[in-house]
Amino acid sequence: MRKHPLSFAGILAGVILGLIFLVAGFGKLPAQTDAYTILLVIRKEPVLLWLSDYVHLIVPSLELIMGFLLVSGVAARLTALASASLTTVFIFNNLWVIRHGVSQDSCRCFGDALDRLLGGISTMEALYVDFAMLALIFLVLAFYPDRWFSLRPWFLRGRPS
């Protein structure tokens, strides 16, 4: 099987995307606050009201799982596809917050610790990060050198001949 010349770009995009998810997931774990702006959207929908009580547990857990899988390269394409759903939710949430003029100095997208370190990122800046994540997802889906369900990490593969 011949590898695409941009397969390295697919691996690198997966690692970068995974690191973003890991930083966000680990950043949210210590401070399990109700600072998630996603609650604003969910609280408006009665059907999803029950979900709002669990968002502070679900989101960081998903980010950590996806981050570990993407960094290691285990089922990277499948994980990137799943992360597209989560990233799309982040985009719609940020657009909703911007559209409704909800004032926030920081979206707390990477947790309280990193927000203090970076001085916080605004909702608009978080939206830019989300679109960059979609671009990384596209690179993984298009150029990752392995099959969709491959369980072998990228760093354990042999060198191309």
In a domain, 157, yes or no: no
In a domain, 13, yes or no: yes
In a domain, 152, yes or no: no
**Per-position pLDDT tens, the chain of length 161:** 456 677 888 889 999 999 999 988 888 776 555 445 455 554 555 555 555 566 777 888 899 999 999 999 888 899 999 999 999 988 988 888 788 776 566 677 777 666 666 677 778 888 899 999 999 999 999 988 877 677 666 666 655 43
In a domain, 161, yes or no: no
In a domain, 12, yes or no: yes
Coarse DSSP helix, strand, coil percentages of the chain, rounded to the nearest 5 percent: 70, 0, 30
In a domain, 99, yes or no: yes
The predicted pLDDT at position 160 comes to: 46
The predicted pLDDT at position 85 comes to: 92
CA distance 89 to 130: 10
Report yes or no: 50 and 121 within 8 Å, Cβ to Cβ: no
How long a stretch of residues is the chain? Answer: 161
| Axis-axis angle for helices 76-99, 123-143 (nearest 10) | 160
Report yes or no: 154 and 73 within 8 Å, Cβ to Cβ: yes
In a domain, 86, yes or no: yes
Report yes or no: 92 and 84 within 8 Å, Cβ to Cβ: no
In a domain, 66, yes or no: yes
Q: How many domains does the chain have?
A: 1
The total of other beta-carbon atoms located within 10 Å of residue 53's CB is: 11
For 77, the domain range is 7-145
